[in-house]
Chains A and B, each alone.
Chain A
Amino acid sequence: MDQLIVLKSPTLTLVKRSNASIGAFARKGAPLITLDDTGEQAAIATQQANVNTLIKAMSEFTRVETDNRMRVHKRIREHLTKAVDSAEALVRLTKLRHEAGAGSVFAVFEALSMATGYRQQLIAAQYESTKTARGADQGFRSLTLMLERAHAELAFTRQVIDRLTIKAPVDGYVRWLLLAGAPVSMGGAVVRLQVASG
């Protein structure tokens, strides 16, 4: 069977290299023509830089750093819990003194105000602590997803580059091919291959 097949370019570009010569026998999968990949190589460089940036961001987002921050939060909470206990004791005392006629109502207000202030600080500290823990977890998962995506984009561009090498889809003889430097349009013929019989 002398079937002649035309291999076409998947994109508008230049022929970078001819890997075969006219009349040569090509085995299935052998590279015949390599198309220009300057744009894709530039994309690879950008995507690699993106991967590096994300890896750096993740390394700065370490568990150790989060643990340190959580320890600080814990110390603040402990300190404020003691402060609240003391302030509440003072409120009880000033109330008793006032009700016994021995202390001013302003002293009660003052003590209440202080206790309320500490309680608010404690709630705020608890809030911050939970927020830090949750934020660290969510941030790390977001970065992981972004890194996965960046790796996938890199793999995609490498596959695109791989497809810029036109390979013989079947054993055959090269009957015609474009030479290095030749421009080619999308769908334009780059190689004519005569399918080897048998």
Chain B
Amino acid sequence: MAQSYDSRLLAGEVRAPADVAIEQVHVEDGAKIGIGTPVLSFDTLELQRRLGVAQNKRQLVLIEGERIQDFATMPRIPKDVTTIEYEVVTEREALLAQNRAEADKADYFKEQVEILRRQHSVGATLKSDLDRVETAYYKQLADHEHISESIRLRDVQSIIARYRHQMSLLKQDIEIKHLLRAIELSTIRGSISGRVRIHVFSIMFVSKDDLLFSVES
């Protein structure tokens, strides 16, 4: 497993924090260095690989987000509206039957909304979407109106999908940030000024606590 390294300089003498390969020595033996001068870098091959994986996965998550967006915005196929188009006495009964069917789904709806509320820690937009759908759903159910296409269970499903997508994206962003920081810390910099004595060479593998370099101030 890849490790990140702390670039602190210990009392003028720097030892390897772990078993690790030296990627590059940036300064000549005997050179003068100042605070912040890069002295040497550890091998970051595995970190770079993980960064590549995380960035690639982030791109895939973004494509998945497009699919979720498509799912939410695709035109909806209307129900049979024969009785609505041509005004006959059966219209009211048809709507009532429709509402009864929707009411049967209300328990499932409520359950899904509850799950979302419990998980609810990310995104104000998501929260307002959820509030809007829930309020509209219950209002129309209470008013005994026809449940409109815009607030069907599909909306709840797409909100859940968006929520999961946000979480995946957040996870990838955190992972990328962490890896970039670890790569940055793989370069050891001088924390005191002075003449540097280098004890290692580029491409060498060193063991934990091996002396890497020392600084004579």
Q: Which residues of A contact B (CB under 8 A)?
A: 5, 7-10, 95, 105, 108-109, 112-113, 116, 119-120, 123-124, 126-127, 130-131, 134, 138, 141-142, 145-146, 148-149, 152-153, 156, 159-160, 163, 167, 169-170, 186-187
Contacts and interface: CB of A to CB of B under 8 A. Distances in A.
Contacts of A186: 19
B66 interface: yes
A187 B74 CA distance: 59
A187 B77 contact: no
B77 A112 contact: no
6 contacts: A9-B205, A109-B86, A123-B75, A130-B70, A134-B70, A138-B63
Nearest to B204: A169
Contacts of B85: 112, 116
B67 A138 contact: yes
By DSSP majority rule, is chain A's interface helix, strand, loop, or mixed?
helix
B52 interface: yes
B202 interface: yes
A138 B75 contact: no
Interface in B162-217: 201-208
Nearest to B201: A169
Interface of B: 19, 21, 45, 49, 52-53, 56, 59-60, 63, 66-67, 70, 74-75, 77-78, 80-82, 85-86, 88, 201-208
Given A123-B77, A134-B70, A160-B45, A5 B201 contact: yes
A95 B66 CA distance: 44
B11 to A, nearest CB: 23
Given A113-B82, A187-B19, A138 B74 contact: no
Contacts of B45: 156, 159-160, 163
A149 B53 contact: yes
A169 B202 contact: yes
Given A152-B49, A187-B19, A120 B66 contact: no
Contacts of B52: 149, 152
Contacts of B63: 138, 141-142, 145
Contact of A145 (B60, B75, B80): B60
Nearest to A11: B205
Contacts of A167: 203
Contacts of B206: 8
A174 B207 CA distance: 21
Contacts of A146: 60
